[in-house]
Structure 1
Amino acid sequence: MKFDVAIVGSGLAGLSVALHLAQTRKVAIISKRTLLDGASAWAQGGIAAVLDSGDSHEQHVADTLVAGAGLCDETATRYIVEHGREAIEWLIDQGVPFTRDASAEMGFHLTREGGHGQRRIIHAADATGYAVQVTLEQKVRAHPNISLFEHHVAIDVITSDKLRPKVAHGSQPRCYGLHVQDVNSGEVLTFEAEQTVLATGGAGKVYLYTTNPDTATGDGIAMAWRAGCRVSNMEFIQFHPTCLYHPYAKSFLITEAIRGEGGLLKLPPEAGAQAGERFMPAHDARGELAPRDVVARAIDFEMKKRGLDYVNLDISHQPPEFLMEHFPTIYARCLELGIDITQQPIPVVPAVHFTCGGVVTDLAGRTDIPGLYAVGEVACTGLHGANRLASNSLLECVVVGRACAQQIAASPAIANPALPDWDASRVTNADEEVVIAHNWDELRRFMWNYVGIVRTTKRLERALHRIKLLKEEIDEYYRNFRITPDLLELRNLVEVAHLIVKSAMSRHESRGLHYSRDFPDTLPKALPSVLTPRRR
């Protein structure tokens, strides 16, 4: 298992890096499930970029900075925005079937989403991520220089300070590859790579309710932290305001573009005399087009104030033909569940959607450890600040993915030392795997209850106490029993939960997605929360 580049994750970030490198490098893509099982394929709305002469980079940057509540890195934001058009053109060249509009300058329809002052979201109906991923999947499957390892779970990266004897590399460790478990056989493989890229996505599954797929367990963040990388802004967990509320609809997102095209949030029949009334204007002058953190808190407030299980999102005033053309996936899925969006409102609730913080990187994806990169939701470039602006995430994947590939291509070749095989000689088969399921459920429930949309110091302290107990149990389990994918994910989730809570406790203000009843004011100067691991 020797490659020039090993990429962990098969979302848009990982596939972008792979395709940009594959002409000159031998690349491995390691995916926990199939290539299409990550969060990128679930993205509905689209990709934000300046594609019309009526728009400008300055406006896109300004909208991003406002949504980010003063915490965005302006240099990073400007770089990513200014490279947006070439990222879109690259995707078009790959064959991505974006929705066309003959009257538009580029010939593609642009929609608008919350927080954007212009129509700048290019999309493929309401299933943009899937269209992009299917297109790029075909490319990587056909490329002779790309090896695919589906149903393989990364365990940890291998750094020079973990080798015996230790390999000197300046004053800091270097990454030389990683250990990976084959899910089907249980065998642990050693991947040797001159450069390793973490493109593992976010950590939505650390919470009970999320729009993320089951694969979003914070693996890359936890792996990088254990290896010695800093993480930043982990307290900023974005709750998407509108997840479909239905007992048979697991994690089904209702895209922000519904509100961009005129959808209105209203109180449901359970609200009594005020049923059918809009409530967003009372919370923000921008109404339904306010940034996600504002809308999610407003919905949470109304639900708790009135004892509601959900609120309604109503777009039935738009022509049926328009809705079926622009939102075919949502129309079809809701209809399966007995909801006709051309005539009825959609019941919605907030749910965890995006991890705004992550592994500290530069704009080429470089982490604190040479040879180790992080790209996409796993990383923190500074673009998203305290609240991600809608549809900037896929843009970041492509722009930083390309820059990462260019950086790797320009890096000199290195001679890797011999890497150790996985040692399972001192472990046994687990006697009670129910422990894993129990701990997983407990973690997600108390994170939802104590570290949710509205926080208090007392709630965070309770969560931290429980996390420490869980970590001890899980670490003991990990040391004594053979690993399984469920155990690896649980180990990563509890690590990420700890980082989220520690970051939240360090922020003595309310800003963006982090709202504390004990610190309701926003401090005059915005500073990132950076955690640095102790050398192990």
Structure 2
Amino acid sequence: MLNNNTTVPTYDVVIAGTGVSGLYAALNVDPSLSILIVSKRELELSNSALAQGGIAAVLDRDKDSREKHIRDTLIAGGYKNKLEAVEVLVDEGPRDVRRLIELGVDFDRDSLGRLHMTLEGGHSINRIVHHKDTTGLEVVQKLAAHVKNKNNITVMENAAIMKMDKIDGGFCLGILKDGGLLNVCSRYAILATGGIGRVYKYTTNSKIATGDGIVLAHRLGAKVSGLSLIQFHPTAFAAREERERFLISESVRGEGAYLLNCRGERFMPSYDERGELAPRDVVSRCIMEESKRTGSEDFYLDITAQDPEFVKKRFPSIYSKCLAEGIDITKDRIPVFPCQHYLMGGIDVDTYSRTSVGRLYAVGECSRTGVHGNNRLASNSLLEALVFSRRAALDISERVRNEENTLRPRALFEMKKGKPLPTGIRSEVRSIVQSSFFVNPNFDAAKKGLARVCELDDMLEHTEFEYSLDLLEAKSLVKIAKLILTEVTDESFQL
């Protein structure tokens, strides 16, 4: 912590979020700088920790090439990707994967000790390294262990950023912690707050994915775009009630599983020559078309033709989760259906993760690097989190070395008393977005939903409610819904 003769805690860098991008950024900032990491819940709860498949990278240049990975990424993204960002991702990604190995991440290996690389939809070759089917959790746990051992890093768990404003030389943040509001100042800020999945009724995202960082950046005047670029994963476990649906990894199809309709028929080859290994958006739309054709939403993933012991060893988490639902994936078909999964849009950044607001950076799913275009290629997300968070950290470190500290710490925020938040706002918003834009948009529902969301947004912005985590997340979800539906109802979206 810097000594500025002030009672306001002051840091060189504040990082919001503790997924892979937030943790890796912290480890790459110059260790002479003070860092505060703010985690809305416990340190290891994030969308990153739920990532199953792995990390895509060109690690075997005898069989793979940067050109192939770039091409696969562009094809999956509908050629709407930012080429410069894709080239940075593919060229620099392998060094970050190797760095993870140095940090102790235990990627699976074959009998000869070589990294085991699997195949997923949209990839033309096996290039995805993984830790069984819990890659994200393995990476998060290993990074978190290193973060906890760094003397220059302070971790604040169960804390939420309610307010954020620019001040001379940096930022002031109002952090909700233990029922009070703590003012903290920093020279730089990195938003690593993840996705927006909880704006949907059904999502694979964790409970913290409410778009808080995107809304903070938007309020600061940062450019935000592409909020309607939402990826629906084609194979989430088709639970009947649960809001958070666990994923059946793309790598299950990469290891030979087939998609079947309600009649037990394989249908993907009739829609696309790539079959089950077409990109996610293609498979999701094909499922919706097949649903119309058959009049049923019953779909299954079948990997029963593979060796049972291989399946259990390769997918232990998926096996145990399905078994808890009464499905033995070595014998039974897995009920699946598309579900909200990922956001390709977000806070606009350059290739060093710099936003349009000075000293503010955004990394991971809350950012829009342009890497993914209109649809993310499987297992490029953890790679993006690594590459661009490292570049943000190094850019900040270089800037600090070459500038005078002009931060003037001061407290801007006070805990407010107000009305209790009405119940049901978040549930209403989720229903609106789910009915307005799921795989294919419903323009009439979106127009009607936008009008209602605007009413809720106006009410939340102009009524004094008591500060709470519920208020923060309600405001975030309403604002995110407004941004999504504004794009969906725009005439250019419908063309």
User: Shorter-chain-normalised TM-score: which range?
Assistant: over 0.9
Residue equivalent to 1:120:
127
Separation of aligned partners in 1, 2:418 and 2:256: 56
- Contact 1:224–1:359 at 8 Å: present in 2 too? yes
**SS of alignment partner, residue 83 of structure 1:** helix
Q: CA deviation at 1:309?
A: 3.5
Equivalent of residue 290 in structure 1, options 256, 278, 293: 278
Residue equivalent to 2:384:
396
- Contact 2:349–2:356 at 8 Å: present in 1 too? yes
C-alpha deviations, 1:47-95, integer Å up to 9, x for none?
A: 0000112000000000000000121001110111111110100100000
Residue equivalent to 2:474:
490
Q: CA deviation at 1:302?
A: 2.4
Equivalent of residue 263 in structure 1, options 257, 260, 278: 257
| Structure 2 residue 118 is the aligned partner of structure 1 residue 111 | yes
Residue equivalent to 2:323:
335
Equivalent of residue 54 in structure 1, options 49, 58, 63: 63
Separation of aligned partners in 2, 1:224 and 1:506: 22
- Contact 1:102–1:108 at 8 Å: present in 2 too? no
Pair 190,428 (structure 1): closer, same or farther in 2 beyond 3 Å: closer
Q: CA deviation at 1:460?
A: 2.3
Q: CA deviation at 1:209?
A: 0.6
Equivalent of residue 439 in structure 1, options 412, 417, 425: 425
Separation of aligned partners in 1, 2:442 and 2:79: 22
- Contact 1:180–1:188 at 8 Å: present in 2 too? yes
- Contact 1:67–1:388 at 8 Å: present in 2 too? yes
Residue equivalent to 2:419:
430
C-alpha deviations, 1:329-348, integer Å up to 9, x for none?
A: 11111112211101111001
Separation of aligned partners in 2, 1:296 and 1:446: 20
Pair 368,346 (structure 1): closer, same or farther in 2 beyond 3 Å: same
Separation of aligned partners in 2, 1:311 and 1:79: 38
Task: State the AA in 2 paired with 1:7.
Answer: I
Separation of aligned partners in 1, 2:381 and 2:407: 34
Separation of aligned partners in 2, 1:198 and 1:400: 12
Q: CA deviation at 1:175?
A: 4.1
Pair 464,248 (structure 1): closer, same or farther in 2 beyond 3 Å: closer
Equivalent of residue 201 in structure 2, options 204, 208, 211: 208
Task: State the AA in 2 paired with 1:406.
Answer: L
- Contact 2:93–2:383 at 8 Å: present in 1 too? yes
Q: CA deviation at 1:248?
A: 6.7
Residue equivalent to 1:502:
486
Residue equivalent to 1:177:
172
Separation of aligned partners in 2, 1:475 and 1:114: 42
| Structure 2 residue 51 is the aligned partner of structure 1 residue 63 | no
Task: State the AA in 2 paired with 1:256.
Answer: E
Separation of aligned partners in 2, 1:278 and 1:196: 49
TM-score computed with the length of structure 1 as normaliser: 0.87
Task: State the AA in 2 paired with 1:49.
Answer: A
Separation of aligned partners in 1, 2:432 and 2:297: 19
Pair 248,328 (structure 1): closer, same or farther in 2 beyond 3 Å: farther
C-alpha deviations, 1:294-349, integer Å up to 9, x for none?
A: 11111122234434243100011000011011101111111122111011110011
Q: Which runs of 5+ in 2 are unaligned?
A: 1-8
Equivalent of residue 193 in structure 1, options 186, 189, 208: 186
Equivalent of residue 378 in structure 1, options 366, 371, 388: 366
- Contact 1:22–1:146 at 8 Å: present in 2 too? no
C-alpha deviations, 1:2-23, integer Å up to 9, x for none?
A: 1111000000000001011152
Task: State the AA in 1 paired with 2:355.
Answer: T
Task: State the AA in 2 paired with 1:497.
Answer: A
Residue equivalent to 1:271:
none
- Contact 2:70–2:90 at 8 Å: present in 1 too? yes
Q: CA deviation at 1:420?
A: 2.6
C-alpha deviations, 1:395-422, integer Å up to 9, x for none?
A: 0111111111110110124221232341
C-alpha deviations, 1:18-42, integer Å up to 9, x for none?
A: 0111522111100000111110000
Q: CA deviation at 1:259?
A: 0.7
Residue equivalent to 2:104:
95
Task: State the AA in 1 paired with 2:406.
Answer: A
Residue equivalent to 1:311:
299
Q: More displaced, 277-286 or 126-135?
A: 277-286
**SS of alignment partner, residue 202 of structure 2:** coil
Alignment of 1:409-488 (within 5 A): 409-411=397-399, 412-424=403-415, 427-431=416-420, 433=421, 435=422, 437-477=423-463, 480-488=464-472
**SS of alignment partner, residue 154 of structure 1:** strand
Task: State the AA in 1 paired with 2:212.
Answer: D
- Contact 2:172–2:409 at 8 Å: present in 1 too? no
Q: More displaced, 250-259 or 496-505?
A: 496-505
**SS of alignment partner, residue 503 of structure 1:** helix
Residue equivalent to 2:341:
353
Task: State the AA in 2 paired with 1:180.
Answer: I
Residue equivalent to 1:254:
248
Q: CA deviation at 1:429?
A: 4.1
Q: More displaced, 90-99 or 404-413?
A: 404-413
- Contact 2:236–2:245 at 8 Å: present in 1 too? yes
Separation of aligned partners in 1, 2:450 and 2:264: 40
Residue equivalent to 2:235:
242
Separation of aligned partners in 2, 1:45 and 1:413: 44
Q: CA deviation at 1:214?
A: 0.5
Q: Matched residue pairs, number?
A: 482
| Structure 2 residue 139 is the aligned partner of structure 1 residue 132 | yes
**SS of alignment partner, residue 254 of structure 1:** coil
**SS of alignment partner, residue 349 of structure 1:** strand
Separation of aligned partners in 1, 2:293 and 2:32: 59
| Structure 2 residue 6 is the aligned partner of structure 1 residue 15 | no
Separation of aligned partners in 1, 2:223 and 2:434: 25
Separation of aligned partners in 1, 2:344 and 2:391: 20
Q: CA deviation at 1:506?
A: 3.4
- Contact 1:22–1:143 at 8 Å: present in 2 too? no
Equivalent of residue 232 in structure 1, options 200, 225, 228: 225
Q: CA deviation at 1:285?
A: 1.2
- Contact 2:10–2:409 at 8 Å: present in 1 too? no
Q: More displaced, 9-18 or 140-149?
A: 140-149
TM-score computed with the length of structure 2 as normaliser: 0.94
Q: CA deviation at 1:507?
A: 5.9
Residue equivalent to 2:5:
none
Task: State the AA in 2 paired with 1:97.
Answer: D
Q: CA deviation at 1:261?
A: 0.8
Task: State the AA in 1 paired with 2:200.
Answer: Y
Pair 44,447 (structure 1): closer, same or farther in 2 beyond 3 Å: same
| RMSD over equivalenced CA pairs, Å | 1.5
**SS of alignment partner, residue 428 of structure 1:** coil
